[in-house]
Amino acid sequence: MTKKEMNELADIVVDKLLTAYIKQQATWYSTSTMDDLYHTLKRMSPKRKTKKQLNEADLLGELAKLMTKLDYHQSKEEYEICAEIKKQIDDVNDKLNKL
C-alpha cells in the first residue's frame, strides 16, 4: 500500500467517524432536555455525606484545607479572616478528638 493509498484510507476512516459523531450529537441535542441533563449530572456527582457520616479522612482533608486558607490569609495580613478560620479549625479538631 502506497503512502497515497494510506492517506486516502485514513481520510475515509476519519470521514466516517466524524459523520457518525455529528449524527449522534445532533440526535442528542434535539432529544435532550434540561431535566435529562440535570438527572445525568446528578447521577454522576458523588453523594454528599451528612454531618454524622464524616469520617476521619474527611475531617483531616477539611483541616488541611482550613490550614492552607489560614496560611494564605496570614501572609496577606487579613487577621479578622484568620480568626474566623481558626474557629473552624478548632471545630474540626474537636470533631477529630471525638472520633
pTM attached to this predicted model: 0.47
Q: What is the pLDDT, as a whole number, of residue 17?
A: 92
Find out whether 61 and 95 touch, Cβ atoms under 8 Å: no
Locate the domains of the chain by residue range. Answer: 1-45, 49-99
Cβ partners under 8 Å of residue 58, min gap 6 = 49
* DSSP H stretches of helix in the chain: 3-31, 34-44, 56-75, 79-98
- For 23-71, the pLDDT digits (tens) are 888 877 777 677 777 777 777 766 665 555 668 888 888 999 999 999 9
The one-letter amino acid at 37: L
* Confidence grade of residue 87 (pLDDT, cut at 50, 70, 90): very high
Location of C-alpha cell 454522576: 44
Which residues, 6 or more positions from 56, have their beta carbon under 8 angstroms from its beta carbon? 96, 99
